[in-house]
Amino acid sequence: MDTDSKACSIPQSCSEVEVDLKRLDRMLQAAHRSSIDIKDSYDFYVLALKEFNKENLSESFLYCDRARYELTSAINDSKIKIKGSRFHSLRTLSYFFKLYGLYAVIFASLAIILFSFLITRFSEVSVLGVPLWSSFFAGLGSSAQILTGIADDLRRYGMASRYKRLWYMALPLLAMVFGYMAYLFVSSGFIAMDGSSQSREFSIMFICFLTGFLTKWLIGRLSRMSRDI
């Protein structure tokens, strides 16, 4: 009996089951948005939620496990069958792209390449005395923040929980505005910076990059301010 109980994989705590249900919920959402039939899987997911609310952990876990099985079957059924072999279809590829945030990864990677090119190509161009590299470095920072968020999600949950919608495409654009204003703020003398002109310029570049990296945080702060006004 002791050996069997140790081999049992049923979670013993409420938090473990809750994590499994949240992960399953994200998987079902990604599958549904990819036009994969999740009816059977969703039915078992609902049963798992009901048992979880009753604090019946073992039954909840079993229903959750069955829901994952049905979801896997639905994904396999959505694949293309050619001469007895199964290949990923557009729906299954869309599912994995949504589940693991690959759309955001591709977008951020392309944005990094674009801003790196703009920094090297138009580093001398300025608008109203403000070099455009300030905006480009901020855009580079926001792109790095998107990749960092996806990597953190995959490390914690094994799937993407942030940047699942297209709103993240606005981050680099907003970051460019924040980077421009950050350069104005620093160069206006509010922050005293010692050293040579080159070292001060490098410091401003880093500040602009950091401003872009903190774009999501700045959006939250400014939104709170606008609601309080």
One-character DSSP codes across 46-84: HHHHHHHHTT-HHHHHHHHHHHHHHHHHHHHHTSEEETT
- Range with lowest mean pLDDT among 41-50, 92-101, 167-176, 188-197: 188-197
| Token pair 């996806």 in the structure block, residue | 150
Confidence check: pLDDT of 177 > 50: yes
What pLDDT was estimated at residue 13? 63
Q: How far is residue 114 from each of residues 111, 130, 139, measured CA to CA in Å? A: 5, 20, 9
Phi first, then psi, for residue 55 (nearest 5°) are 65, 30
Tokens of 215: 């774009």
Domain residue extents for the chain: 2-82, 100-228
DSSP symbols for 129-159: TEETHHHHHHHHHHHHHHHHHHHHHHHHHSS
Cβ atoms of 208 and 138 within 8 Å: the answer is: yes
Which of 39-48, 206-215, 219-228 has the least mean pLDDT? 219-228
What is the distance between the alpha carbons of residues 191 and 42, in angstroms, rounded to a whole number?
Answer: 56
pLDDT at 126: 85
**142 close to 168: Cβ distance less than 8 angstroms:** no
Q: Is the pLDDT of residue 136 over 90?
A: yes
pTM here is: 0.76
Q: What's the full length of the chain, in residues? A: 229
Give dist(CA 19, CA 27) in Å, integer.
12
